Each structure stands twice: as C-alpha cells, then as structure tokens.
Structure 1
Amino acid sequence: MSLSLARRPLVSYLIRNVSVLGGDPTDLVVRDGLIGGTPTGDEEVIDGTGLIALPGLVDLHTHLREPGREDAETVLTGSRAAALGGFTAVCAMANTTPVADTAGVVEQVWRLGREAGLVDVQPIGAVTVGLAGEQLAELGAMAESAARVRVFSDDGMCVHDPRLMRRALEYVKAFDGVIAQHAEEPRLTQGAQMHEGEVSARLGLTGWPSVAEEAIIARDVLLAEHTGARLHVCHVSTAGSVDIIRQAKARGVRVTAEVTPHHLLLTDEKAGGYDPVYKVNPPLRTQSDVDALRQGLTDGVIDIVATDHAPHAGHDKDCEWAYARPGMLGLETALGIVFSVLGPDWELIADRMSRTPARIAGLAEHGHTPADGAPATFTLFDPQARITVDPGALASLSSNTPYAGMELPGRVVATFLRGVRTAFDGKASQ
C-alpha cells in the first residue's frame, strides 16, 4: 500500500547538471515541496547530466477502471503506471461501475487517488446518468464536491442528442466547466470494427467512416459557438476533424482538442493480422490522417496529447477481433512516443503534455516549468536512452499494449510530485 503524500517524509534533493527544457546545465535544489534555495549538504544528490527536466506531465484522458473493474486496473496500479511514465496528474474517466455520475462516486475516486499518493487523480464526471445519453447527471453536485470536478465526459459513448448536448454546455458554462465529447455518430458506426477504407475492405471487416467523428465535431463546435461554452474534443483521429477544429478556432469558438499517442504513430495497416491489441475507439486511421494529426499538434490546432490509457483484462482482449474490447495502454509509453514524433522540441512537449492539459482541467498546481519558487512537480527524462517495451514489466494490471517488443527513444528517470519522488529508475515509490 502506498503512503499518501501527507504521510511521507520530505527529502531534500540536489539535482546536478540537469537541463531545464533543453537549456544550459544547471543545478536544481528541491526542498519543502518547492524548487530553489542554496544547497546545505544534507540533500540526496542525483546526477542530472544529460537529463531533461520537464514540468510533470498531465493526462486529461485516463481510464483507471476502479470502481467496478479492478481486474483490469485500480487507481493504485494506474497511478504507478502514470508516475513511471512521468505523469504527476491524471484525469480519470467516468465509465466505471457504477458510473461516476454522482458526487459520491467522484469523491470515492478522488480519495483513492489521495490514498495512492503517486499522482493527483482528478475525476471526470459523466455528462449523463449512466452514460445513457437521456438525462443530465448531477453536474453541479460533482462540481461542488470535494473532488471539484470541472471536466465532464461520457467517453466511450457520444452525447448524441443535440438538445442534451446544448443543455450540458449551458450548464457548465456557469462555473467555467468543460464538456469533453467522444465524437461518434452511433448510427454511422453500428457493427463497425475498424477504419472504413482499403484495409477494412481487404479484411472483410465492417468499416468505421471518418464522417462519423467529423459530423459530431461539426455539430458540437456550432453548439459551443452558440452557447459560448467550453468544448473539448476527445481523441481526434481524422484529417477532416483537424480541418473542422481549425476553422472553429479561427472563428473564436472555445474549443480544445486532444490526440492520442497511438493515433500519432499507428495506422489501420496494423489490423492486417487481426490482432485485437490494435482494436481501439476511435479506430486507427490512415497514414494521411496520421500526418494531419501530427501537423495539427505542431501548429496548435490540436492542443494536447492525452493517452486514453484503456487497460483491459486478458479475457477481454485475448479473443476474436469482433468480440475484443477496444482500447490500449498508454501511460508508460506516451512520452517516448511523443518524443519520437516531435523530436527534442522540449517547449512544445511541455506545452502539449503538461501546461495546456493542466490549464484545461483547472489543475493550477501543475504545468509549471522547473525553476526557483515553482512547485517541485516535474519529470526527469533521458533522451539518449532506449527502452524495449515489455508488457510483463509494465506497472498496469493489464498488458494490452500495442508497442510490445518495440524500441522507443528516451526513458523517464524520475518523477516528483510536490517534492516527493514518486518514481525513480524504473520503480514507483511504495
């Protein structure tokens, strides 16, 4: 059982010769939860030569499965995976059992996160009761709860009723909340198994058209424009979606968007072997979509990278493609994949994986550049290292990673949350 941060003794650290966001080597002193001060000689010394100091990563889209599916993941095991991946905060999606659609359930998840004490676990509340898309959930009660929920999503299910979506946007506008939409027109995806295109035709699998995503995004940016509320688009996956969001931002619509690491790297060609580890929602798309997503992330049309970490128990993945649950692990491999895509643009990585997701989620203690006076909430990353992904060595309870056996660049060396070292040299703190 992990000790909560409040029960852990604070150790002072001196990190020597570390590069903050690619700058000249410097020394960082970590004391009393903050960065700064003069070394006194009682610090634990960490050799930071060759390491990059980044603000602690923030994931706006994580599935921790607890309560209800503790056979796939728990808040504790997901927190370990997050800390090892360089994250200091994760936003836990609402599709648990029971659904996080009441103040009681979101507070339960929030408290479990505090007990784990490895990352800040910020619950996301459901938009509708039971994710059924028929009645608004207790948005106000969740916002006023101890968890202080500010982001709401029926992820896994689309809020497909435009009238209900409008009401949700209007409701959260009162406290500057965000509706995070899973953009999928369900009438266009019935029976769909993968991206609709040449590969689906060759494999004989029912296709999932790009327009199913794009139609909902187009509708919702108009609703956000009409209401003046904040809309966030989950796991954007098509070039057409990028174009719609670009046009909406040009008009001043309050819309943000995310892309997952797997949609930045993998294509629908991976489905060729019918391996269900590559089954995901939304599906892997074409190389032209991947190229558009990368460009959108670089130029700011897509605001953030979010993992959509979706652990599944073995029996939910080790089966025929048609019966397998969609989803992939993401927390422990995200930074390496983004680094492989963006290269050593540390400012851009910090913005897309820390500062902006922290701002969208309202996590004021996160997203700060490691510097004197800042919270000691940061990550040390070795860009010269290489890791080979071993599913059996991951901290998650599940092993459904699409990167098994793949060599990824870079390695998270350490993660600090308010001065507490939550992961170091491949091990999460106990």
Structure 2
Amino acid sequence: MTQRLYYNDPYLREFDATVVGVSERDDRLVVTLDRTAFYPTSGGQPFDTGTLGPLRVVDVLDENGGTIEHLVDQVSDTGVRHVSDTSLTPGTTVHGVIDWTRRFDHMQQHTGQHVLSAAFDKLFGARTVSFHLGAAVSTIDLARELTPAEIAAAEAEANRIVWEDRLVAIRYATAEEAAALPLRKRLRPARDASLRDVERDRAGVGPRERKEGQPPDRGTLRLIDVEGFDLSACGGTHVARTGAIGIIAVGSWERFKGGQRIEFLCGGRALARFRSLRDAVGGGVRLLSVLPEELPASIERLQADAKEQKRMLATLQSELAKYRAEEIAVSAEMVSDARLVLRAIDADASGLKSLATAIVAKPGHFVVLTSTSRQSGPRHADREVRRTRRRKS
C-alpha cells in the first residue's frame, strides 16, 4: 500500500521516497514507492506528471489494491536511456518532483467543480451525476435541465463563494460520523471488494472512476469542506481557499442523457479562454469598425447583404448568358442536321452551365463548352454541359 502524501498536503511539490518495485510495461518502467505525492487518475481527475530522479513520469495508476504505479519514460531529458542500469532499484531513495503548473490547474478546476456543483444543488436541486476534468475544459453532468437564467444564477453564486475566499479544509470521518454530517450526497454502500483497504476508503474513490459524491461508506472517509457551503467525500487535490480558484466561468451547455452537460473553466483556464475570445472579437471589431456589442447585428447584415448580392449576381449572369449565347451561336457548325458549338471560354462551372443552357434553348443547337478559368477545370465544366445537352435531346 502506498502512502499518499497529497491527501494532507496537496501543495507538496517535491518529496523523497523509497523504491519498492520496478518492472517494464510497453517500453516504460513501472515504479512503485513506499509513499508518493503523485496523484493517480481517479474521481474524474487526471494524473499528475513530473519526474522521478532523471526520468519523466508520464502516467500514474491506482489499480492494485492501494498501490500506486508510476509509469516513467526510459529516456531522460538528457537523452540517456535507462533500462537495466537504472538507478531506480528496490531499496534506493528517489527524489520526486511534481509538475506544479499541471497540479495547480487541476486543483483550481476540481475545487471549482465542488463549488459550482453545490451552487446548482442549493439553488435549484440539480444534482451532479458525474464530473470530468479534461485537458482543455471540464464538464459537470446534471440530473436535470436548467434554463439559461438558472445557470447564470448558479454561476454567480459560485463566484460569490470564490471571491469571499472561504477556507477549504480536509477532514476525515468514519462512516458513522459521516452519516450524521450534511454531505451534499448521501453515502452508498461499497460496490467492489477491491475497496477494502483503509487508504482507498479514506480517499473516497473507486479503483477506476468515482461518480461525484458517491464514495464507499466503509472505513475512514476523506472529506473536502468548503466553509459553510459544501461538504463532500473526495480524494482529489484542492486549493486551500476558494480565492485561489480565481473565477468560475460556464462556457456552454447541452442536453445529455436526460439531463444537462455543463462545460466550465476555472482560474488560469478561464483567463486563457478570455484572451482567446478577446483576440477573436478584437479582430472582428477592427475589420468591421464597430463596437464589440455591435458584432452580432453587423454579421447578420453582412450575411443578408451577401445573400442579396448572390441573388443579384445570379440574375445578371442569366441575362448576360442570353446575350453571349446569341454571339456564340453564330459560330455554330453544321454537323448532319444539327448546329454544334465547340468553345473554350473564361468562366466557372456555374457560368458554363448558364451559357450552355441559353444556347441549347435554340432549336437544333448542341454545345460543348470548356473553361479556361483556373477555378474550374474543363472536365468538370464539360460534364455539366453534357448533362444539359442530354436533357435538351
């Protein structure tokens, strides 16, 4: 069983541990330690990355009854390949370093999820069914649909809690004690025999994926307490105060499995999204010489103008085709009892078709037109014309 240092100190960035085991899997080393600060994928939260000695940690798994496995590349940042001669041998001490940028991002998103889920629940009784922390955005799946106004109200309430900079405490309780606490979700019986060990029970997570707020009710439970607002069983890494979340922004929502999927971003991700949208909107503002709030109406006008211009162009092309047809028809050659027009002109496929249609409207005329335009190959134009000729025949 691996001691999980992140349980009590999610801000721990470096640590020393003793190597317990080393094996190979798919050209990578699998390293187990007596203790670790690396968070394994579970509960909707992805794994930490970083280094163990000179090697990069590329995945962290929790699949073997409480033992955490660190998958590391066998090639270090210096390009040295470590296989049988690795310094990661059982009994040796290794220094681990967490990728803090990734860890803190996950802490912001996960704590933000607790606050946002609690806001949906408190204001509208909308229960969170599951949670996914993605590489770019995170999602909450609600048991029922909410209106845009309700979503905005929950978002505002969640940010109120963020800006009040409330304490986020880690607490532990037995199943009996937890049953008497105001948890956002009631505990459910353990579903899997692999949840026997106390350390996993303390984390409140299953071996693969935890449904939000539904940990096993056996052993010691780890609780995340957002002061005066939310209390949930969770084994993830969280910020110490809500102010560190920065901001919680709902990006979009959609119907999903009879409920609703909410996309949201917190902290640094929200800032990155703002910058992206600022640049995009700024570009549109400069191109159209309007204010940001005038962009939707301006785009609608452009679309309407483009549609009208397209209609007018089609009308003009049709009229022009009639006049050009008269000119080209004069050059028709008699073949048996038919007048055949063979010409190469500068026009696209649409123009060729309009012109050919006008020519074959004349009794006894057949036409083959090819295009000299770079935008329309002769083969395509000729095919369009032959279709018109067959219809006329």
Query: What is the TM-score of this pair, normalised by structure 1?
Result: 0.20
- The higher radius of gyration belongs to 2
TM-score normalised to the size of structure 2? Answer: 0.22
Question: Which one has the bigger strand percentage?
Answer: 2
